[in-house]
Structure 1
Amino acid sequence: MSTENSRPSKAEQQALVHQLVTKIDAQPEDYHAYYDLIVLLTAGQDFEQAEALAMKALGKFEPQPAAADLMRYALGNVYYQAQAYDKALPFYQQITDTKLKGDAYLMMAQSLMAQQDYQHALVYAITAQEQQPALVDANLLVADILLALGNNAQAYDYYQKVIQLDDQQGPAYFKAGLTAMVIGKPYADLFAKAEKVDAKYFKAHQQQLTEIEKTLQAQRPDQSDASQN
């Protein structure tokens, strides 16, 4: 299902907010309703209200470990979506709930990556991937961080894992192709598949492919003279 088509309109969102507020008033001990409302407000980029509600809910449900961790996760996500990554990290780090911990590691990695702290991001991303080895997002994040660090061979291996888990991942095919070019592996089929699976992504990143081709040509000894012109 397309996220664009399934995204609620402003009127629908207001109606959902009203429903959840009514539910919270009727069942004030149902922490899931608080969480759902925080998620909805965050999706609507109403970060101030989402933060205030998450803080209130965290205070209310602090004695209940599972509920409190869910509120910490929600609050971390509010800050993450608002690009306040320094504020998000402490809330993810406080989570002890086993079910949420894997997701929290993933969000910590994404927060650190957004700040270009790739070394620390990699630690959390690998931890998340080890906990959920079949999770596409975890493998893709590890691959992207390794690529950012210039570890092309390792990045290539993780992009291959992503493709094996989901053969409709256009960006993974494309980036696998890029890393294959750099490390001297066959890459034409990977780019062909990337274009077939996600033509929009491929077209948007074609310039990146051209630049890498030029760089690689310039680095070859027999091409060095040509690169001077």
Structure 2
Amino acid sequence: MTNKAEASRPSEAKQRALVHQLVQTIDAHPDDYHAYYDLTVLLTAGQDFEQAEALAMKALGKFETDRQAADLFRYALGNVYYQAQEYDKALPYYQKIQDTKLKNDAYVMMGQSLMAKRDYQHALVWALTAQEAQPTALDTNLLVADILLALGNNQQAYTYYQLARQVDPRSGKAAFNAGLTAMVLGKPYAALFESAEKLDPEYFQKHQQQLTDIEKTLAAQKSGDDQATKS
């Protein structure tokens, strides 16, 4: 799934030019928090996590009396740590956010952070909270489904992948994973894989090994069952 902390990484030359431009904006308008936030996001996208962290910390201190701005920098700091795979540092910043819209995004990021730590039970709590707040968002339904799949709850995972498909019928990931869970559950799956390959051939190819592995596992189980029946 697309996580909310992700940003496309600019080319090195473009990165330098944009950083220079934003630094000039900050110098010219030191009390406008938007440029600080934009620069933090840009540095994070460029994987310059040390500078992004320092800037977001500085901005959080400078604008802490402005609740909206402070929450924005807490979210930015959480995203810096998430992208740097320092999930234990990210979580407290997401948890402190009060702004209603950002809070929903923070729930998703908390779910993703805990999933990355393989703490699936706690990840599921936050993912379900996010899904209840945004039931028609593709990413919330995919996140819940992914965690349920990781927990081995294929039936519920299938339900949420199908919900994700209803939200966005163009999602190749939702179609592919609905197909995987359908295969395990003994439901019709061929049309789902066909749809996934058409919608997102790159995702389909990248995850085809998963499909092969499940096919082998199911074949081995069937073979074992057949042997048990004969004996």
Which stretch has the larger CA shift, 100-109 or 17-26? 17-26
Matches within 5 A, 1:14-33: 14-33=16-35
Contact kept in structure 2, 1:93 and 1:104, CA below 8 Å: yes
Q: Which runs of 5+ in 2 are unaligned?
A: 1-7
What is the aligned-residue identity percentage?
74
- Equivalent position to 1:200, from 186, 199, 202: 202
Which stretch has the larger CA shift, 197-206 or 74-83? 197-206
How well do the aligned residues superpose, as a CA RMSD in angstroms? 1.6
Matches within 5 A, 1:32-111: 32-111=34-113
How many Å apart are 1:221 and its aligned residue? 6.8
Structure-1 separation of matches of 2:110 and 2:67: 20
TM-score (ref. length: structure 2): 0.91
Structure-2 separation of matches of 1:174 and 1:14: 39
Structure-1 separation of matches of 2:181 and 2:193: 11
**2:126 paired residue number:** 124
CA deviations over 1:53-103 (Å, ceiling 9, x no partner): 011011111111111110100011000000010000000001111121000
1:212/1:93 Cα in 2 relative to 1: closer, same or farther (>3 Å)?
A: same
**1:169 paired residue number:** 171
- Equivalent residue letter for 2:93: F
SS in 2 for 1:220: helix
- Equivalent position to 1:154, from 153, 156, 159: 156
SS in 2 for 1:134: coil
TM-score (ref. length: structure 1): 0.92
Matches within 5 A, 1:1-16: 8-16=10-18
SS in 1 for 2:118: coil
Q: Higher relative contact order at CA 8 Å, sep ≥6: structure 1 or structure 2?
A: 2
SS in 1 for 2:97: coil
SS in 1 for 2:30: coil
Structure-1 separation of matches of 2:200 and 2:162: 17
**2:3 paired residue number:** none
How many Å apart are 1:223 and its aligned residue? 4.5
SS in 1 for 2:147: helix
- Equivalent residue letter for 1:157: T
How many Å apart are 1:225 and its aligned residue? 2.9
- Equivalent residue letter for 2:73: M
- Equivalent residue letter for 1:110: Q
Structure-1 separation of matches of 2:81 and 2:75: 10
How many Å apart are 1:207 and its aligned residue? 2.3
**1:143 paired residue number:** 145
SS in 1 for 2:35: helix
- Equivalent residue letter for 2:133: Q
Contact kept in structure 1, 2:91 and 2:110, CA below 8 Å: yes
The aligned length equals 221
Contact kept in structure 1, 2:9 and 2:45, CA below 8 Å: no
How many Å apart are 1:137 and its aligned residue? 0.8
Structure-2 separation of matches of 1:73 and 1:127: 17
How many Å apart are 1:7 and its aligned residue? 5.2
Q: Which runs of 5+ in 1 are unaligned?
A: 1-5
